[in-house]
């Protein structure tokens, strides 16, 4: 007979994860205030996501920086509790294709699908691409692979254009999922901060919504209202 | 109440959530329990942490029904993105449990018991009747299913409530803990007593397994039709109340059962030898967060149904029906053997006390408080605990995994945890 009011039941050792990828353009066009603003923005994202009761339990971050080359920092997805905003420097060209290659590789390698080793699958990854919209390598092939994932609804991608050389038409060609243009004309630093705050809100909202049955996973539906500095790139 | 015959007892039971009609009395936490024939049933449903924080409502619902030899369980999970989805979940849980009982009670029976050994009933044989329902009540069952009026959404069971509550006798003293009464809602009672009205499992008229599976399909169909009418009467739309739905109906005289599922969640079984089994793998849309629901137009294509014959059922110690808020934590690891670990440990805890009332409260507390990262959804679990009696005629040819039969009364509680 049991005298205890508590039940001693075996629970899983880990929960479902919400993968969040940040693809950050660190090319020459971002030099100066731009790259500083991005760094502050990532710090804000780290701070506010860690401070959210629900997002803190699930969000895992993968940061891919790209300029002449591309690099997936920390080699994969990092729990938000262990994540630290990286130091960023701007130089070189915009190797978006290489960044998308790393993204595709990580999605295949690091994101868990249900049943692999009887483990829980991850929530649908959320991908933010921040770029000057002026790629200098072969980006079309890898972009096609990412677009295929988006159309199969296995990821959510949001593309944001920024920087002085931004070409809106080119951004449309690059964009996967909803795309925005960051208006830096009045306050560059403030604009980036507002973008990252909105991005954090999107992540925390998605982290909560994902745990509910039948919750819509269409990012376009779940996006919080963008700040005024973030304009739809129609 | 009239009558003092201690051998007469109430063999109908109901507990769990009920359809939201005029007053929304859907509670944030709900637990119940009952002993029905030789089975113990414990159910609990707890609002999720995220709903608590958002001050939204519990979207899960469950309902348990017993009548004569039949036992039915239903659980449902309202779509979290729809604020009124609990209305669909509550209705469907009650209607399906009611419908399963109603449809199953119309099944023909086979007098030979051959079905219990894996044979098939002769569909032309109409000699059988549900002898666990008194003759005068059988005539009130109506001409057949469904259990829900497709025009009004109201439950059709009123026609087989045999007599008023006032004519019923009190349960005998030894059965005072036989049900944790949450609410009665148009559920049939019956009279009878062990050893007279109910045949022993070996002699029992056994419903054909294929018919039991068909009963599940019929009950789902009736529930869907009833939901449509019910929601229409509320001047709402089906898309306002999407929910998953899982149900099980069992012939408690043989253990034979069938179950159905649309959407996520799980119906699982723990065998006496300690191995867990997923009984159904319903179609899934594949995308994270996407789920099939009873309210969609092609719901019938998304319904999975499975039936177990008596020989297979005899291997099962406990059946679990759960919404995805529990299933996610019960089935998936790490570790890789999480399903086995969870099944065995929850079964051990549920059998740790002979007092089902205490077990139900402990289960509710567990569901309401355990913490797993990212597990914030409503949690609902109903467990059907088999007695350890195994009748020789139900043993499969191999019989290797079946424990030695032990003497026990037909209304005994769950097995002792020290002797699993």
Q: Does B376 touch chain A (CB under 8 A)?
A: yes
Q: Is the pLDDT of residue B49 over 90?
A: no
Instruction: Please tell me whether residue A201 adopts helix, strand or coil conformation.
Output: helix
Q: Which of A51-55, A85-89, B288-292, B389-393 has the highest mean pLDDT?
A: A85-89
pLDDT the model gives residue B256: 94
d(CA B151, CA B173): 42
Task: Give B-chain residues touching A80 at CB under 8 angstroms.
Answer: none
Going from the N-terminus, what domains does chain B have, and what CATH number goes with each? 8-416 (3.60.40.10)
Q: Is B284 on the interface with A (CB under 8 A)?
A: no
CB contacts, 8 Å: A118 with chain B: 331-333, 336-339
- Segment A6-32 shows an average pLDDT of 91
How far apart CA B349 and CA B256 sit, in angstroms, is: 25
Q: How far apart are CA B243 and CA B82, in angstroms?
A: 10
Biggest alpha carbon distance in chain B?
59
CA distance A50 to chain B (A): 14
pTM, full prediction: 0.74
B374 contacts A114? CB cut-off 8 A: no
Q: Kind and range of the H or E element at B278?
A: strand B276-278
- The answer to which of B25-29, B372-376, B392-396 has the lowest mean pLDDT is B392-396
For the record, the structure tokens of A5 come out as 């009011």
- Determine which of A17-21, A40-44, B154-158, B247-251 has the lowest per-residue pLDDT on average: B154-158
CB B136: neighbour CB atoms within 10 A?
11
Which ipTM was obtained for this model? 0.72
The residues, ordered by sequence, that sit 6+ positions from B393 with a Cβ below 8 Å of its Cβ are B113, B116, B117, B201, B202
The confidence score (pLDDT) of residue A62 equals 97
List the single range of A24-28, A225-229, B29-33, B292-296 with lowest mean pLDDT. A225-229
Nearest by CB to A13, from B290, B334, B365: name it: B334
Confidence at residue A204, expressed as pLDDT on a 0 to 100 scale: 85
Q: How confident is the model at residue B418 (pLDDT cuts 50, 70, 90)?
A: very low
Does B366 sit within 8 Å of A9, measured CB to CB? yes
- Chain A residue with CA closest to B369: the answer is A6
pLDDT for res A222 = 63
Give dist(CA B34, CA B155) in Å, integer: 22
pLDDT greater than 80 at residue B419: no
How far is residue B265's CA from residue B217's CA, in Å, rounded to a whole number?
Answer: 18
B338–A118: do the CB atoms touch at under 8 Å?
yes
Query: Is residue B329 less than 8 Å (CB to CB) from chain A?
Result: yes
pLDDT band for position B109 (cuts 50, 70, 90) = very low
What's the N-to-C CA distance of chain B in angstroms?
40
The average confidence (pLDDT) of chain B is 73
Q: What is the reported pLDDT for B369?
A: 94
**Count of other CB atoms within 10 angstroms of residue A116:** 12
Please, what's the largest Cα pairwise distance for chain A?
Answer: 74
Which strand (E) or helix (H) includes residue A180? strand A179-182
pLDDT of residue B348: 96
- Lowest-pLDDT choice from A107-116, B36-45, B84-93, B375-384: A107-116
A232, containing H or E segment: strand A230-232
Q: Going by C-beta distance under 8 Å and a sequence separation of 6 or more, which residues neighbour residue B196?
A: none
| pLDDT of B226 | 92
Residues in B 196-235 with any Cβ partner in A closer than 8 A: none
Q: What is the pLDDT of residues A169-181, one digit of tens each?
A: 888 899 988 888 8
Q: Residue B73 and residue B99: Cα distance in Å, rounded? A: 10
User: What distance in Å separates the CA atoms of residue B261 and residue B306, rounded to the nearest whole number?
Assistant: 9
pLDDT tens-digit series, residues A137-176: 999 999 999 999 988 888 989 999 987 778 888 888 999 8
Which tokens belong to B371?
Answer: 């913490």
With CB atoms and an 8 Å threshold, state whether A211 touches B377.
yes
Residues A114, B332: C-beta atoms closer than 8 Å:
yes
**Nearest-neighbour CA in chain A from B108: distance (Å):** 38
Task: Answer yes or no: do A123 and B288 touch at CB < 8 A.
Answer: yes
Please, are residues B66 and B108 in contact by the beta-carbon 8 Å criterion?
Answer: no
pLDDT, residue A46, reads 95
3-class DSSP assignment, residue B198: coil
Cβ neighbors of A159 (< 8 A, separation 6 or more) are A128, A129, A131, A171, A174, A175, A176, A177, A178, A179, A180
Cα–Cα dist B299/B314, whole Å? 32
pLDDT tens by residue, A51-68: 988 889 889 999 999 999
**Using a CB-CB distance cutoff of 8 angstroms, which residues of chain A are in contact with residue B338?**
10, 12, 118
Rg (CA), chain A: 18
Judged against a pLDDT cut of 70, whether residue B126 lies above it is answered with no
Q: What per-residue confidence (pLDDT) applies to B350?
A: 96
Cβ neighbours of A15 in B, within 8 Å: 372-375
Q: Where are the alpha helices (DSSP H) in B191-285?
A: 209-233
> How close does chain A come to B333, measured CA to CA in Å?
4
- How far is A140 from chain B, CA to nearest CA, in Å? 25
Please state, in angstroms and rounded to a whole number, the distance separating the CA atoms of residues B128 and B313: 22
Cross-chain CB nearest to A12 (options B287, B290, B372): B372
């Amino acid at each position: 007979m049991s005298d205890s009011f508590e039940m001693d039941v075996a629970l899983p050792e880990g929960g479902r994860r919400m993968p969040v990828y940040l693809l950050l353009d660190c090319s020459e066009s971002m030099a100066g205030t731009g790259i500083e603003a991005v760094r502050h923005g990532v710090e804000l994202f780290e701070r506010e996501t860690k401070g959210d009761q629900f997002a803190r339990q699930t969000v895992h971050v993968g940061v891919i920086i790209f300029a002449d080359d591309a690099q997936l920092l920390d080699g994969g997805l990092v729990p938000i509790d262990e994540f630290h905003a990286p130091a960023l420097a701007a130089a070189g060209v915009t190797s978006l294709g290489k960044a998308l290659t790393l993204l595709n590789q990580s999605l295949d390698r690091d994101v868990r699908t249900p049943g692999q080793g009887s483990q829980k699958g991850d929530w649908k990854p959320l991908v933010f691409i921040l770029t000057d919209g002026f790629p200098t390598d072969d980006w079309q092939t890898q972009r096609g692979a990412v677009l295929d994932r988006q159309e199969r609804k296995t990821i959510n991608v949001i593309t944001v254009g920024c920087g002085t050389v931004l070409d809106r038409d080119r951004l449309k060609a690059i964009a996967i999922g909803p795309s925005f243009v960051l208006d830096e004309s009045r306050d560059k630093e403030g604009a980036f901060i507002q973008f990252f705050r909105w991005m954090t809100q999107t992540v925390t909202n998605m982290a909560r919504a994902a745990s509910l049955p039948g919750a819509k996973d269409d990012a376009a539906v779940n996006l919080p209202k963008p700040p005024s500095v973030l304009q739809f790139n129609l | 109440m009239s009558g003092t015959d201690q051998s007469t007892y109430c063999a109908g039971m109901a507990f769990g959530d009920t359809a939201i009609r005029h007053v929304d009395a859907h509670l944030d936490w709900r637990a119940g329990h009952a002993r029905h024939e030789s089975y113990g049933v414990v159910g609990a449903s707890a609002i999720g942490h995220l709903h608590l924080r958002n001050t939204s409502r519990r979207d899960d619902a469950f309902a348990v029904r017993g009548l004569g030899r039949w036992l039915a369980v239903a659980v449902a999970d309202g779509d979290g993105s729809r604020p009124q989805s609990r209305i669909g979940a509550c209705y469907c849980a009650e209607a399906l449990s009611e419908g399963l009982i109603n449809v199953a009670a119309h099944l023909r029976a086979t007098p030979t018991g051959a079905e219990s050994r894996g044979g098939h009933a002769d569909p032309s044989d109409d000699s059988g009747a549900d002898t666990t329902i008194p003759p005068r009540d059988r005539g009130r069952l109506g001409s057949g299913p469904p259990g829900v009026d497709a025009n009004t959404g109201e439950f059709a069971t009123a026609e087989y409530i045999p007599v008023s509550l006032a004519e019923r006798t009190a349960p005998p003293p030894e059965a005072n803990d036989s049900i944790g009464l949450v609410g009665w809602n148009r559920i049939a009672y019956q009279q009878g007593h062990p050893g007279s009205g109910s045949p022993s499992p070996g002699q029992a008229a056994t419903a054909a397994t294929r018919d039991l599976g068909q009963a599940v399909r019929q009950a789902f169909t009736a529930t869907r039709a009833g939901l449509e009418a019910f929601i229409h009467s509320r001047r709402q739309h089906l898309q306002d109340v999407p929910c998953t739905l899982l149900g099980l109906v069992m012939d408690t005289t043989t253990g034979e059962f069938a179950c159905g599922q649309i959407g996520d969640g799980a119906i699982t079984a723990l065998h006496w030898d300690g191995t867990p089994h997923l009984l159904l793998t319903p179609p899934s849309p594949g995308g994270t967060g996407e789920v099939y629901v009873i309210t969609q137009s092609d719901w019938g294509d998304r319904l999975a149904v499975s039936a177990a014959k008596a020989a297979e059922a005899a291997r099962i110690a406990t059946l679990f029906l759960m919404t995805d808020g529990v299933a996610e934590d019960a089935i998936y690891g790490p570790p890789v053997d999480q399903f086995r670990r969870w099944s065995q440990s929850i079964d051990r805890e549920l059998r740790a006390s002979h007092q089902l009332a205490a077990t139900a409260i402990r289960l509710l507390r567990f569901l309401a408080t355990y913490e797993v990262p990212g597990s914030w959804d409503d949690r609902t679990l109903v467990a059907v605990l088999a007695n350890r009696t195994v009748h020789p005629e139900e043993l499969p040819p191999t019989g290797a995994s079946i424990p030695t039969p032990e003497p026990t009364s037909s209304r005994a509680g769950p097995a002792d945890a020290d002797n699993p």
